[in-house]
Structures are given as structure tokens and as C-alpha cells.
Amino acid sequence: MTRKSRETSDLYYYVNDIPNISAIFFYGFQQMLVCISALLITPYLVSNLLCAGVETTAVRVQLISATFITGGIATILQSTFGLRLAILHGPSAAFFPALHTFGDLYPCNSDTDTTQWRERLQLISGSLFAAVLIMPFLGLTGMVGRMAKHIGPITIVPMLILLCIGVIPDIEHKVSLHWISIIEILILIAFVVLLEEYEVPIPAFSMEQKKFNTMKIKLFSQFPYLLGIMIAWFACWILTISDLEPYGSSARTDRNDSLFVLENTPWIQIQYPLQFGFPRLSAPLVIAFTASMLAAMIESIGSYGICARICQQGSPPSSSMNRAFVVEGFGSMLAALMGVGTGVTTYSENIAIMQVTKVTSRITMQCAGVILILMGIFSKFAAFLAMIPEAIIGGVLTAGMSMICGVAFSNLQSVDLRLSRNLTIIGLSIILGCTIPAHFEKSPLHSGNKTIDDIFGTLLKMRMLVGGLIAFCLDIIASGATRKQRGFEDKLEKIEISVEKNGFALSSFANQTILKIPSLTKLPIVPSEKSIRRIEELRMKVIDHKIVSQ
């Protein structure tokens, strides 16, 4: 099947297209705005686990800045050198189960020394760093590319569903802080579901016509989280100045610690690796983070495939997948050293926005990465965001995880759901993925060996890991379905794209450099010599055709 031409395709900008500067900025700014709510969730969660007492808000500011900078760097690297599609990276929710394990191992109570928060963060950072080292190794050895051929929607869907189920206690805790979180949820439902197609008329000045015109924008569907946070935050401010909320309420905007931090935070503050001290290790925590890392990798395999389909690029080549995980591993290692608390992953929200806007240009996502870095450097902005009442974050978390749950089900569109085999595997993995961890939470493992109890006790409590392994194993060994019926793309139906629109292809400079050292093509992260020469031959034909046309 040949890819549709520009005239008949529904994409406005392809991966390699470069819009004008103003369009690049606004599309990039929009992508950055979409991910802000997800970027804020992790710093709030990690700062609460550190038991920092009165320093919690100040620590949160630093973590927000570190998260923005890390996400920006990882985004630029992934879209430029990794998968080379419009990919935005940020903290992965797949690591939340490991953070819950940390909370169980080192709970906050009345006896906790609040001055030891750095040691707690060093423990999280060191254990996370040790775990994510495996990710670039798997990419460099080519194991990811081979693994990806056997991980399909029947494995990915239960894992994403179990991820959402695992975050429910966090959602319940934050939503129960104040009724404003319910208002935030209702606002987001109205924007995303009810007003998605509504076009808001906005005046805009035309430089060509030298006058104001009215342009219609689907404002609610493109900026639901930003608008939702602003409205709920404004409502909290009204409740504060009118004294309708008592002092100390989680909905007040004048909490003393937040105001103090905002006033005393410098305008510019550079976050850097190891700023919180040298990392330390905890064996049970390393195991928990390793399990979360494997779950995050499987989630990313699915996300990369979805992104490639939206960008009309077909299935990612093995070399691109291997390279993507090397870069994702580097981003996760940087996140660990910066104290972010989780590895990085692709944000499904940003992929969904591309499907809405039909803009898949790589440079717009690179612009979003630059904006994220700048926002992280200007720490006053991070301090301002840290003032958002935690109850509002509860509403945002609810909506964000709802979208992830929806994206999970979207993976089923390529699976033959008429086969009882497929339905049974999906159902079993979700039910057992909930039941087995629930059993071991109530009845901890007692083998007589503490090390074994700590390691396997931690693994057996992780829903994503248990359910994902069950789904993967059953999908591999159970007969009764072809690869196509299991949701894998048929090789005969792969999309063919022109060389100008091939987002996976490396630049001519990179290809020529690789061809000068043929041994490089033996590396799993580098395309084969045959494919590189084919790309360059096609590029030469395009150039020759243009010369003849002129």
C-alpha cells in the first residue's frame, strides 16, 4: 500500500517538515502546555515521600525545575537522535509502584527526622540509576528490537490498565483533600468530552491585511489542562481572599510555606546532576525500580508504535527502536542523577494532541524541549507552579490517568476481539494482576530467607509486572491466532513512504559518515549498509528530478 500524497493526506505537517518560526513556537508551546500537568504530578509525589517537613515546598520547587530541564533534554535527544519522530519525554507513571514500595519501606511518621530528606532522595536516585542502566544496555545489544517483535497489544493493554488501577489510591488521597478537586475533574470532563469540538472565536491581527480578523480555535480541546488548572486555581484564590476557607486548608493559596518559598526563590537557578548528594542503594528498591523499568519499556514500545502510525511512518525499524531506548535510558539516568525520582517515558497526551492537530513536525517538539529547559532554569516559575493547591493536582491526576486508560484501550483496535483466546488472555492478566499482588500485600511472603522475601515480595506486589508477564507468556505460547489477529502489523501491509517524508532516516551527513566506517553498520543502533545506500540513492534521484524540473 502506498502512502497518500500531501493533497489527499490528513496530515498538515509531516515529520521532516519545517513550518515558519511563529508556527514552530506556537505548536511547540502548545505541546509543552499539554504535558505541564503530568510533569507536576511526580515532583508533588516525590516531595511528599521525602518527609521534609517545613522544607517540602522548597524541595518541590527544585524537583519541578529538575523535572522540566530533564524532560526538555530527553525530548530534544529523542526527537533528534533516538526514534527521530515528534516524541516528548517526561517522568513515567510506570515507576509509581516503585515509589510506593519506597513509601512502604521508609514511611513518614511522627518519629521521622525531617532533616534527613536528602538521604531519602539519594536512596531513590541511586536505586533508580542502578535499575535504568539496563535500558541503554538492551538497546546497544539489539535486544529491544528483537523483544519488540513479540510484545503486542495483548501485553501492552493489561499493563496500562493495571498502571491506572495502581494509581487509584493516590487519586483517592488527593481528591479527598478538598472538594475543589471534584470541581477540577468536572471542568476537565466538560472541556475534553463536552466542548471538544466547540470553536472559540478569537481576534487576531493580520499583518498582510493590516486589520483584525476573527479566527476560530478549538480552545477547550487543545488546552484543557491549562484552562482547568487556571479556573480551579482562581476559584481557590476567591475562597482564600473571602476567607470562606479556614487557615491551613489545602485549597488556600496563601499557605505560609508556599509564599515564603516564592519570595525567597531566585529568578534563575541552574539544576545539575548530583545536586542532592551522591546516590545510595537499597536492594529491594533496586528490584522494584527494575521491574518498573521493564514495564515502562513495554509501555514505550506501544507508544512508539502508536506515534509512528499517527505520523504515517509505518512500523519503526529495529535500529530506530534500539536507538530510541538507548536515548530513553540516558534520559532516565539523567533523571535519576537530577533527583526527579522516576525514569522518563513518552507522553501519550502529546501523541494524542498530534492526532488532533495533524502536526507531526519534529522541530515543533524540539522547540517544546527548549521551552521546557528555559522554564526549568527560571526557578521563580517553578516556585509559582509549586503554589498550586494539591487538591487541584488530584483532579489533574484523575484526568491524566483517565486518558492513559483510554489510550490503553485504543491499542485493541488492531486485535481480533472475536477470538475467545484474546479476550481470555486480556481478562486473566488484569484479574490476576490485581489478585496476586492483593494477596501478597495481605499475606507477605515468608520463605525463611529475608533477601528472597524482600526481592520476590516486592515483585509479586507490582500489578503491572505480574499482569504483564502473564499476558506476555500466554500470548506467546497460546495457539489459535495469527500474528495479525494478535494485533501485530502484517509485513505485507507496511506503509511505504517517500524519502523526503521518512522520519526514521538519518541525515545525509550522518549516513555518509557511517558509510566511511562500514563496521558501524554492524551495530544494532545503526541502520544496515544496504538500507543507508538505498536512502542515499533515493535522495540523489529526488535532487536530480528537481534539477530536471527547473
Residues 438 and 538 grouped into a single domain: no
8-55: pLDDT as tens digits: 457 788 899 998 888 888 788 878 866 776 787 888 889 989 988 888
Residues 98 and 65 grouped into a single domain: yes
CB-neighbour burial class of residue 184 (10 A; exposed 0-12, middle 13-18, buried 19+): buried
CB-neighbour burial class of residue 21 (10 A; exposed 0-12, middle 13-18, buried 19+): exposed
Q: Which three cell numbers stand for residue 539?
A: 535522495
**Average pLDDT of the chain, as a whole number:** 83
Tell me the helix, strand and coil percentages in the chain, rounded to 5.
65, 5, 30
Residues 511 and 480 grouped into a single domain: no
Residues 411 and 475 grouped into a single domain: yes
Residues 379 and 437 grouped into a single domain: yes
Is the pLDDT higher at 225 or at 229?
A: 229
Look up the pTM and report it.
0.77
pLDDT attached to residue 141 = 92
Locate all alpha helices (DSSP H) within 242-276, ordered by sequence: 256-264
Report the half-sphere exposure of 209 (CA within 13 A, side-chain side).
7
Residues 542 and 441 grouped into a single domain: no
Total residues found in the chain within this entry: 550
Neighbour-count burial for 256-275, b at 16+ CB within 10 Å, e otherwise? ebbeebbeebeeebebebee
Identify the domain containing residue 505 by its residue range. Answer: 499-549
User: Is residue 382 assigned to a domain?
Assistant: yes
Q: Which three cell numbers stand for residue 296?
A: 515502562
Is 516 in contact with 526 (CB distance < 8 Å)?
A: no
Residues 467 and 530 grouped into a single domain: no
User: Is residue 494 assigned to a domain?
Assistant: no
Is 393 in contact with 167 (CB distance < 8 Å)?
A: no
User: Is residue 8 assigned to a domain?
Assistant: no
Residues 370 and 287 grouped into a single domain: yes
- If residue 408 lies in a helix (H) or strand (E), which one and from where to where? helix 390-410
Reported as a pLDDT band with limits 50, 70 and 90, residue 5 is: very low
Residues 379 and 511 grouped into a single domain: no
491-515: pLDDT as tens digits: 434 556 778 888 898 888 899 999 9
Residues 319 and 452 grouped into a single domain: yes
Residues 428 and 514 grouped into a single domain: no
pLDDT reading at 124 higher than 90: yes
Residues 383 and 503 grouped into a single domain: no
The domain boundary, picked from 486, 516, 534, lies at 486
Reported as a pLDDT band with limits 50, 70 and 90, residue 473 is: very high
437-465: pLDDT as tens digits: 899 888 888 877 776 777 777 778 778 78
User: Is residue 518 assigned to a domain?
Assistant: yes
Q: What is the mean pLDDT of residues 121-133?
A: 94
- Show the beta-strand stretches assigned E in 117-237: 200-206, 211-217
User: Is residue 167 assigned to a domain?
Assistant: yes
381-415: pLDDT as tens digits: 777 776 778 788 778 778 777 877 877 787 788 89
pLDDT attached to residue 340 = 93
User: Is residue 491 assigned to a domain?
Assistant: no
User: Is residue 13 assigned to a domain?
Assistant: no
User: Is residue 325 assigned to a domain?
Assistant: yes
User: Which residues are 216's β-sheet partners?
Assistant: 201
Number of domains in the chain: 2
